[in-house]
Structure 1
Amino acid sequence: MPFLDRHLGPRPDDVAAMLEAVGHRSLDDLAAAAVPASIAAREPLRLPGLPAALSEEQALARMRRIAARNRPAVQMIGQGYHETTTPAVLRRNILESPAWYTSYTPYQAEISQGRLEALLNFQNAIMDLTGLDIANASMLDEATCAAEAVLLMHRANRKVKEGAVAVDSRLLPQTLGIVFSRLEALGIEAILTDFSSGLPEGRLFGALLAQIGSEGELLDVGPTAAAAREAGALVAVATDPLALTLIPSPGSLGADVAVGSSQRFGVPLFYGGPHAAFIAVRKGLERSLPGRLVGVSTDEAGRPAYRLALQTREQHIRREKATSNICTAQALLAVVAGAYAVYHGPEGLRRIAEQIHGRAARLAAGLAGAGLEPLHGRFFDTVTVRVPGEADRVLARALEEGINLRRVDADTVGVSVGEPHTAEHIEAVLRAFGASAAQEGEAERFAIPAQLRRRDGYLGHPVFHAHRSETSMMRYLRELSDRDLALDRTMIPLGSCTMKLNAAAELEPISWPELAGIHPLAPADQARGWAELIGDLEAWLAAITGYAAVSLQPNAGSQGEYAGLLAIRDYHRDRGDDQRRIVLIPASAHGTNAASAVLAALRVVAVATAEDGSILMEDLAAKVERHRDELAAIMITYPSTHGVFEGDVAEVCRMVHDAGGQVYLDGANLNALVGLATPGGFGGDVSHLNLHKTFCIPHGGGGPGVGPVAVGEHLRPYLPGDPAAPGEGSGAVSQAMFGSAGVLPISWMYLAMMGAEGLAEASRTAILNANYLARRLDPYFPVLYAGAGGLVAHECILDLRPLTKASGITAEDVCKRLMDFGFHAPTLAFPVPGTLMVEPTESEDLAELDRFVEAMAAIHAEMTEVAEGRVEAGESVLRRAPHTAEAVSADAWDRPYPRSQAAYPVPGLRRSKYWPPVGRNDGTAGDRNLVCECPPPAAFDIEHRADEPAGSED
């Protein structure tokens, strides 16, 4: 059977019935009626180098051939990327488990308790290791995390509002590249500083220090941190969490912020990403913290309940005033890293760190014995040594042993030791240098000195001591995943988020060592397979979008936005139009649009929307004319954020171009366009795409994501450069040249198996499914916006406001009640407060769509009972939802509706039932009393807690 038939949900007979319901004869007729003729593609889509769709077996065989072109080696290059061992229990039960990789961002807390606990474990591990009070639930990569730390210090320093940041010259090259690129865009002064000579002169709002230098030197940052704070600066420290099991925590040394990567906690190299970075802060800075933060509140029974705290989707609230544009995190990789800490515990992590340092010390001693004294005598895992004129010869000899080393320059070589590296590997490296193993005891002089040794404990919570056997760990991971609701259980009808099938065949290659084991700085001839895969994907995405070139570097949609806006800014600047700094953004646009514009030092001017949800053309015309000489761009989402194909999009593009501006077409809703129309063909100059939406990379509970940026020919020179290459990092937005390369095979497999016609059929089916739901649900909850012929695009907005006004039951109440039916909620209150935005995707079959209609009809009936006064809103089944098994089975039942209505509102649930693990979460209390560390096990025992003396604390 062709893969297309596996990917699409509706069967042929179902398609016929659904077409009849929406009043069209065929999918082609429906698409022609929905997609405006002014933008429809004139030619069928063609994917370069792919004449026809491949079967699953053919695609996997071709991927095998591509992967075989890579040459895996023992990777001892370092530079922020380290070989690690992924325990099989974590690989199989997290990375390769759809229960984990198909879940959505945990905005609906009650059905996300498993992944929230896993992320809380990650936060706790980072807080303990860094010695700081609060850590978030992951960042995109270490380099962008360091840049965010600088911006945090710039926002939060109340003593020094002006001034510069001193940036340690010993930071990793990619960190320096990203930090300076990000700050240059904002006009924030950064001073590259050798802190061994003290602080630079002038006022400083912050200092960004390296605890371990790029050459491996272990640095005592305490005195520098003290001097910086004395001068009124805040202090951020870039560190290594595994090294922190042996060396002092940044918090103990006076740091306000710590950043780093958790990659070596069991996450493969993945050719540069995805890897979960982290940022931790001292108390008092939590409300400036970017990204997502998992906190603890209580449910209605008083039991601890996890939730996202403080800044959940803050871009949609604060828009251009948001603290950052970070939306996607690296949740799945943070789950792996947190589980790695749980599985090994403090003793296991320390043992791994001691083993790594011990082998690095023996390497240093052997080199010293051959007259090759390391540049630095204090190090954790990296030894750098001068070999005048011999670097290339040493690297070649090491490669003969199957080992990659780092070429610092023609006279210098670096060697980084990782968890899997053995004594035999150390001996092979010594042979490459012409040295031999050191005598017993000679390595002791390279031991970490006492003053740089950690003295306090870490990972004291019971969870880090409870799961040492694989049996226990396997069951713990199963327990957590059972507490979640992911795509492996049910449709996730989130508008604008495109939760479609993430096929097993697409996911299979990402774990292959030939792909996952390649270092991003490995020689090009060792990564020819990656070059082919990336080249295919760039060419295919360019054809799909109608643009000239694509960069895969942005590792989130928000970073794709940022890269596209930098390209527009630099294009205008090079043409002498530096005054073009205004970006027009519709009021209904994704919140990250505005936040990304501000990060690119552009000024946001909002454009009003009409009653039908489209851009208000009169307001647009007025603002284009008012800002004609300063207009840099317009950012529009197409189909619109309201789920409609706006007929005047080509006219919008023409108006902006006539004024000298560029058109940024947000590709978040591309799932309705692929194969039917091309953004570059109807007026776009640049778009970002969401591979974690349209192109089947799973959401992973909130990441990884990939947000490639596609541009017209005139913007090709402004695509992101290599952040680690001097002079080439202009516009770089991620620390690795190809961002989250490790998940690109997923999209390659999807495109190869679908083929050009299959992609168009998927778009047509997505439009069919959305219009079928819109037609079926409209009698209960009116569809707020529609385009020509009453059709929507790939999603629709349900208007709950009239029934909310009559009943007092809110859209949020409906979201909680849907959990009792075994459904994840649609998108809540965006882009219109009081509404739900529904996107079924092309992967859901008719039975699942009808099941959702049945649930919404039942909820409508329950709301109507309240509106008619037969039930009081506060005691209704809707307001008390969701219902846990514990609540329904309790001896006491004081609610005015029967248990059966709470648990089994429709008959089909009696055959298969998902039980929410907690009752409704008290979000307000959680924000007022922020707790972001794991509660002790006793906190979950309500009966035990009831017996505690008054005033006792959990």
Structure 2
Amino acid sequence: MSDSAILHPTQFDFPSWDGSSAQGIPQSLPSPDLGLLEQAEQFIGRHIGPNRQQIEQMLQVLDLSSLTELVEKTVPAAIRSARPLKLGSLRTEQQVLAELKGIAARNQVWRSFLGMGYSNCLTPPVIQRNILENPGWYTQYTPYQAEIAQGRLEALLNFQTMVIDLTGMEIANASLLDEGTAAAEAMTLSYGLAAKGSHIFWVEQGCHPQTLAVLQTRAEPLGIQIRVADPGEFQLEGESFGLLLQYPTTYGEICDYRELVEQAHQQGILVTVAADLLSLTLLKPPGEWGADIVVGSTQRFGIPLGYGGPHAAYFATREAHKRLLPGRLVGVSQDAQGNPALRLALQTREQHIRRDKATSNICTAQVLLAVMASMYAVYHGPKGLQKMALRIYGQAHGLAAGIRDLGYAVGPEHFFDTFWVKGQSPAQIQEIQARATQKRMNLRPINELTLGISLDEATTPEDVWDLFQIFGGSNLPLEELEGWAHPLPDLSRSLPPGLMRTSSYLTHPVFNSYHSETELLRYIHRLQSRDLSLTHSMIPLGSCTMKLNATVEMLPVTWPEFAQIHPFAPLEQTRGYQTLFAQLEQMLAEITGFAGVSLQPNAGSQGEYAGLLAIRHYHQARGEGHRQVCLIPTSAHGTNPASAVMAGMQVVSVACDAAGNIDLADLRAKAEQHREHLAALMITYPSTHGVFEEGIRDICQIVHEAGGQVYMDGANLNAQVGVCRPGELGADVCHLNLHKTFCIPHGGGGPGVGPIGVAAHLLPYLPGHPFLPECSGPVSAAPWGSASILPISWAYIRLMGSAGLTLATQVAILNANYIAKRLDPYYPVLYKGSHDWVAHECILDLRPLKKNAGIEVEDVAKRLMDYGFHAPTVSWPVAGTMMVEPTESESLTELDRFCEAMIAIRQEIAAIERGEADPVHNPLKLAPHTAEVVTADSWDRPYSRAVGAYPAPWVKANKFWPSVSRIDNAYGDRNLVCSCQPWLED
């Protein structure tokens, strides 16, 4: 591969079809080869849940002869692709692992001392094996059903407490995507609170360069001016509303900002500090010297470098700003028995409610990584973290002193783990870099005369000695030169006056009780037992595609060749990653029909934003920057309006008709009304209502004729792969959820990857990165976002091949229609296509139950827990409904079990309707039933304990007990507590 291809892996010659006409649409589809499911050596039969006989049985229930007939009935002929996928044949697990091993071998794992917010670290094996590599943790869903998510919520509460304690702030969220995103969210929060007319945001020149780049991307659409300067040169009067300080700076300097912060506050300016958490075990935390917001990364708390991600960022602020806090917040409430219970707090902040009034489009977090970081703090405790920080501090200062003794200029005066070395000439620096190369070490080139060095937890005495030798130190073996470096400096003398930490932190028992592996292992598994995951049963969430995350796909994530590479390592050391990126981009382009793909967005929300920015920049390049109106259907995902506002667009709603489709008449009227200013239409396909809209081509044509671009939300791509292509339907850009369709697990609410595919005319406007040449601004801190989990999707596509991916889509549609057919007599399916079929999901209408029996949709959701199931998506996109998506990975046995649970619940409701059951004291209203309730000495309910706890025969054999009763959300919001409380000691 050429260097050009390595730097620009999205630009490939790729066969595409513009989709401008329907010519070439096949009259009939090729029949799928169900025999593939019976080939024992192939992966496809393990990914797709129903076997051949079960598929034929479901087809009989639906009165269909084949999967081909099903697709012909559900997918309009006008949108079906004219050509099959060209991704090769399916491969065995052994073949794919061998191929991926070959790619990984092209990466070179050097010792990196590059810093810039990324540090090598040592993931405790007990955490790696029992959380990162454990499907009981990584297949959990976002904790919206809190009663069956108490373990993960406790781990996230620990995370929030850890951040609050170390930063000295009052409240912290449950993680964000990366440090750059967190800083951008701080900027926009400050901007939202600013006086009218204030639009200048100051950034100190010691900020990490990738953070500055993300800030600049986010600022431009909002009209914010970024000004970069030395903090002593900030001009805080007038139109300034906020500032960002780095603590310590990207060059290692520990600055005393207290006077500056006081000046900013006198002007009503909010101060954000990006802080290194580990350094705060030694340094006075920003909350103690006046910071309003503190952000940063928890990557060095046990999260592998992974070439940039995924990593959990943090965001902490004052309690006064709690309702503007981006992302999610875990709070303490109580359940129906008065016991403490956890849940997501302040839910009215969620974007699906606030839409274009949302303060952020962030609807996800990095839960799995936040759990790991919190467990890292639990594992080491305050003493262990401080001991680690002191060791790193001592190594850095000893090395700096040794290099200074060799005659180099070394600075800054005050630093924690990072310092710079200035040479006398460029030739000398080149010679040092050459010696570093010989030892396979990466140093940071700051300029032609200066190198940066950052040490970390993984730095050994041998590493320090090698670094010393690189700068010309003694060539004698380390063991012969004990005491060569200066002793550990006195903190009180080597830190700026008044900036040594004196306050305590991590004092809660949870951080001081589990330091042996035995105790931590039991704690991890105790929390895991309180969470329902895909290891227990199907999670049939509409729009969320909780499918199999196969072990073979997950294995490469922790291979050192992928996990231990710094995101700014030289490209020649990452040729394996570049190969993987290029191949995955080609695969996704083939699947979607687009000319190119960017893998950088590290969440669906980031993909939305990146896609809209591409459209914005396209209009600007054509001299049509005035196009700023974004049409969004009322049924759209709630993040869509928030993303449009972030991209500087004005949201105009488009109505939907009675069938749930976009109202074409209203769309035409709105497109004509805003013709001169129309920028884009955002549409989800298949629709948010779970059907293939037959008018999609007309919709795209209407928008294009009015000068706009079509953005397609790819959340439902699981119904399209191998059947139709967004690029052929008329879409100009589409984001994909790799954590849905392409098997990256949800991880309890993150990680995610949201790449975008674009048509050829938008290729120049894909997100770039300051560490790559000739590129636009980034939306994520790392050049390729969450790079280390991309092998999951690569492996899935290679394992399935063209035939397997197409069959997966067909079976996903089959499973959804089977459930719709079985449940329609009990819970009417709200929306169907023109021929009474659904796509890959269906919406069940529970609204009549409230009128007839006083039963809310939430009651059904909680009762499902007693049957061992996570509820489908509740009250979205229509209040009082459930959206069910079974995916292709669930067998007929599991589908039937879910259907039987829903039917049994309907019979319980019928008993209320007939007056045979109490309208208040019934199994639904009092669900879920915990072991504590069922085994209590007293039982005053008008139904038996067995009815409450074991409502179906299969439950006795595999009972999942909710750990708390129904949670009182309103109580928790009235009494907001978002850090560890004494009750967690037990």
- Match of residue 324, structure 1, among 335, 349, 360: 360
Q: How far did residue 853 of structure 1 move?
A: 0.6
Q: Deviations over 1:511-551 (max 9, x none)?
A: 00011011111111110100011111000000000000000
Letter of the structure 2 residue corresponding to residue 820 of structure 1: D
- Match of residue 814, structure 2, among 768, 775, 779: 768
- Using a 3 Å threshold, how does the CA distance of structure 1 residues 771 and 198 change in structure 2: closer, same or farther? closer
- Match of residue 289, structure 2, among 248, 253, 256: 253
Aligned length: 935
- Match of residue 687, structure 1, among 711, 730, 734: 734
Q: Does 1:909 align with 2:946?
A: no
Q: Does 1:130 align with 2:167?
A: yes
Q: TM-score, normalised by structure 1?
A: 0.97
1:234-313 → structure 2 map (5 Å cutoff): 234-311=270-347
Q: Deviations over 1:750-791 (max 9, x none)?
A: 000000111000000000000000000001100001113211
**Structure 2 match to 1:56:** 93
Q: How far did residue 220 of structure 1 move?
A: 1.3
Q: How far did residue 160 of structure 1 move?
A: 6.8
CA distance, structure 1, for counterparts of residue 744 and residue 798 of structure 2: 14
1:171-190 → structure 2 map (5 Å cutoff): 171-190=207-226
**Structure 2 match to 1:944:** none
**Structure 1 match to 2:104:** 67
Q: Does 1:656 align with 2:656?
A: no
1:364, 1:443 within 8 Å by CA — same for their partners in 2?
no
- Using a 3 Å threshold, how does the CA distance of structure 1 residues 20 and 211 change in structure 2: closer, same or farther? same
Q: Deviations over 1:636-691 (max 9, x none)?
A: 10000000011110110111111111111110000000000000011110000000
Q: How far did residue 57 of structure 1 move?
A: 0.4
CA distance, structure 1, for counterparts of residue 665 and residue 804 of structure 2: 39
Q: Does 1:358 align with 2:398?
A: no
- Match of residue 115, structure 2, among 73, 78, 89: 78
Q: Deviations over 1:899-938 (max 9, x none)?
A: 1110011111111100000000000111111110111137
1:123-202 → structure 2 map (5 Å cutoff): 123-157=160-194, 162-202=198-238
CA distance, structure 1, for counterparts of residue 356 and residue 196 of structure 2: 23
Q: Does 1:490 align with 2:526?
A: no
Q: Secondary structure at the match of 1:374?
A: strand
1:551-950 → structure 2 map (5 Å cutoff): 551-724=598-771, 730-937=776-983
Q: Deviations over 1:779-809 (max 9, x none)?
A: 1100001113211000000000112211110
Q: Does 1:5 align with 2:45?
A: yes
Q: Secondary structure at the match of 1:733?
A: coil
Q: Does 1:89 align with 2:122?
A: no
Letter of the structure 1 residue corresponding to residue 523 of structure 2: Y
- Match of residue 77, structure 2, among 23, 34, 37: 37
- Match of residue 421, structure 2, among 375, 382, 385: 385
CA distance, structure 2, for counterparts of residue 537 and residue 138 of structure 1: 28
Q: How far did residue 490 of structure 1 move?
A: 0.5
Cα RMSD for the two superposed structures:
1.4
- Using a 3 Å threshold, how does the CA distance of structure 1 residues 815 and 723 change in structure 2: closer, same or farther? farther
1:415-430 → structure 2 map (5 Å cutoff): 415-430=453-468
**Structure 2 match to 1:444:** 489
CA distance, structure 2, for counterparts of residue 286 and residue 80 of structure 1: 26
Letter of the structure 2 residue corresponding to residue 400 of structure 1: Q
Unaligned runs of 5+ in 1: 941-954
1:84, 1:419 within 8 Å by CA — same for their partners in 2?
yes
- Using a 3 Å threshold, how does the CA distance of structure 1 residues 373 and 197 change in structure 2: closer, same or farther? same
Q: Deviations over 1:261-311 (max 9, x none)?
A: 000000000000100000000121111100000000000111110100114
CA distance, structure 2, for counterparts of residue 518 and residue 441 of structure 1: 31
CA distance, structure 1, for counterparts of residue 350 and residue 613 of structure 2: 23
CA distance, structure 1, for counterparts of residue 181 and residue 71 of structure 2: 41
2:202, 2:234 within 8 Å by CA — same for their partners in 1?
no
More moved, 184-193 vs 33-42:
184-193
2:845, 2:882 within 8 Å by CA — same for their partners in 1?
yes
- Match of residue 395, structure 1, among 433, 437, 441: 433
1:7, 1:501 within 8 Å by CA — same for their partners in 2?
yes
Q: Does 1:218 align with 2:254?
A: yes
Q: Deviations over 1:372-392 (max 9, x none)?
A: 121312111011111131333
- Match of residue 245, structure 2, among 174, 199, 209: 209
Q: How far did residue 173 of structure 1 move?
A: 0.1
Q: Does 1:433 align with 2:480?
A: no
**Structure 1 match to 2:15:** none
CA distance, structure 2, for counterparts of residue 440 and residue 115 of structure 1: 45
Q: How far did residue 868 of structure 1 move?
A: 2.3
CA distance, structure 1, for counterparts of residue 204 and residue 535 of structure 2: 46
CA distance, structure 1, for counterparts of residue 349 and residue 745 of structure 2: 19
Q: Secondary structure at the match of 1:5?
A: helix
Q: How far did residue 439 of structure 1 move?
A: 4.3
Q: How far did residue 161 of structure 1 move?
A: 6.3
1:365, 1:443 within 8 Å by CA — same for their partners in 2?
no
Q: How far did residue 820 of structure 1 move?
A: 0.4
Q: Secondary structure at the match of 1:103?
A: coil
Q: How far did residue 873 of structure 1 move?
A: 2.3
Identity of aligned residues (%): 55
CA distance, structure 1, for counterparts of residue 463 and residue 489 of structure 2: 20
- Match of residue 136, structure 2, among 59, 80, 99: 99
- Using a 3 Å threshold, how does the CA distance of structure 1 residues 32 and 260 change in structure 2: closer, same or farther? same
- Using a 3 Å threshold, how does the CA distance of structure 1 residues 225 and 724 change in structure 2: closer, same or farther? farther
1:110, 1:916 within 8 Å by CA — same for their partners in 2?
yes
CA distance, structure 2, for counterparts of residue 593 and residue 393 of structure 1: 52
CA distance, structure 2, for counterparts of residue 351 and residue 265 of structure 1: 14
Q: Secondary structure at the match of 2:642?
A: helix
Q: How far did residue 198 of structure 1 move?
A: 4.8
Q: Secondary structure at the match of 2:332?
A: strand
1:204, 1:232 within 8 Å by CA — same for their partners in 2?
no
Q: Deviations over 1:714-736 (max 9, x none)?
A: 000000011456x8563410011
Q: Secondary structure at the match of 2:84?
A: coil
Q: Secondary structure at the match of 2:669?
A: helix
Q: Does 1:512 align with 2:559?
A: yes
Q: Secondary structure at the match of 1:547?
A: coil
CA distance, structure 1, for counterparts of residue 550 and residue 745 of structure 2: 9
CA distance, structure 2, for counterparts of residue 268 and residue 587 of structure 1: 41
Q: How far did residue 897 of structure 1 move?
A: 1.2
CA distance, structure 1, for counterparts of residue 137 and residue 319 of structure 2: 31
Q: Secondary structure at the match of 1:284?
A: helix
Q: Secondary structure at the match of 1:789?
A: coil
1:803, 1:864 within 8 Å by CA — same for their partners in 2?
no
CA distance, structure 1, for counterparts of residue 973 and residue 269 of structure 2: 28
**Structure 1 match to 2:526:** 479
CA distance, structure 2, for counterparts of residue 195 and residue 35 of structure 1: 59
